[in-house]
Chains A and B, each alone.
Chain A
Amino acid sequence: MRQKFDVITSTCVPLPLENVDTDQIIPARFLKSTDKEGFGENLFRDWRYNEDGSPRKDFVLNNPEYGGCILVAGKNFGSGSSREHAAWAIAGYGFRVVISSFFADIHKNNELNNFVLPVVVSETFLAELFDCIAANPKTEVEVNLPHQTVTNKETGNTESFEINGYKKHCLMNGLDDIDYLIQNKDKIEEWEQRNR
């Protein structure tokens, strides 16, 4: 999952619903695995499949018109449970970027920790992007992490997005937080000494 990040240009999968919670991204009954693999198969399980396991034709992941490694979702994406399995499912399915106007905190961190980039755009940019994708499913978006810009290639509209310098460095170089933390244990021990 530690794929280095640079510039990604891709078509999008639209999910124009608000408040998509992590129980929908991956239902609890699929959390019983003890490793990180295979969650992509059950991404959006109950929206994607009928009870008998047959695909639900009306769900976007089952519509061959749409594809690509960018998921575009309505505001407050990833609310609810802290389950990182939701990020593993999104990454496991093959998404590398999620675009929304608002993310829930814990899920946003979970995406970043799994080298999936959450990109926050304005409501206007998001609404226009949904319209473009509806009109032309082949609409492409360019996400440029070095420049911190996101561009709707259909309209040429560009916005910049926020990411702190540390996390940007991690994503671009395939580093994670534990690599950083275990390098400075002396600082942790100093803190413990001060706070006995």
Chain B
Amino acid sequence: MATLTDKYVHAVTRSLPEDQRTDLAHELRATVADRIDSLLESGLAEDREAAEYAAIVELDDPVRMAAGYTGKPLHLIGPAVFPAYVRLLRTLGFAVLPVIAAVTVVVGIFADRSVGGIIGAATWATFNVAVHMFFWVTLIWVLVERKSAPAEAADNLAISWSPDDLPDPPRETDFMTSETVLGIAFLGATIAFLIGQHFLSWFDDPAGDAIPMLDPGLWSGWLPALIAVLVAMAALEVVKFRTGRWTPALTLGNGVLEVAFAAPVIWLAATDRLVNPAFLAELDPGWADETHHNLVIIMVVAAVALWGIVDSVRKTRRPDPAMA
């Protein structure tokens, strides 16, 4: 039966060039044997078997030992090329993945798929492309780095870094891009709801037309005005993002717009003119008499507006004297 030493020596020498194998195997055996003797003499091991085990443990992973002899790297992507590797993956990811996602969505729309189907297909396609990109880029880099002399790997991959590669720092801003995008998306969704509720509803009248959620009479005046305020709010989001912080003027503008939206809605709800009575009747015939829904609308709208104002006032700063 093969001893631990046999197994270890084989594991180390198998990846070495033929001409070094025998010589190195003999030397390793002698070294392990010396260590075993030493462990037994010093009483650190109880018997020969334990001593052999301990001696091999000290030598650690044979792959590491063999790499010491061959000089082969013990990594896939080494420190010399790692920064450029990450940079390339990031650049490729940002350049390719959104395009893949967008193309899949467009194809899905033309193929008349359901919304869920389109999202699923786009996610799956983007994920697949991401995995492939990661795999192939990594494979090519590993192969090139392994075949290159250490000093030449960067040249062979054409990735020498220079100060010209430095990107612009992000603009000084209090607002995250995602925050602004979300804010505008929310306003867009609100506008879409105000318009959409007229054409799509949970209930249809006997003629098959949708019963709007909001009183259709509001279209002559109130609803267009509210939509105009929402558009102005979206514009304010953009200006705010470009300015980079809440200035007193922006805070004032924000307050005016918040009030311009909330006040009419609250007033309409308070005078019970907001929700379409026909819609309420469909919802629950007994419910239409009560006015809880108006109270809920008033509270929600007031809370949102109040929060918007308080938040902006809280964050308003005087212009930074160092920047002026």
Q: Do chains A and B interact in one complex?
A: no
By a beta-carbon cutoff of 8 Å, the part of chain A in contact with chain B is: none
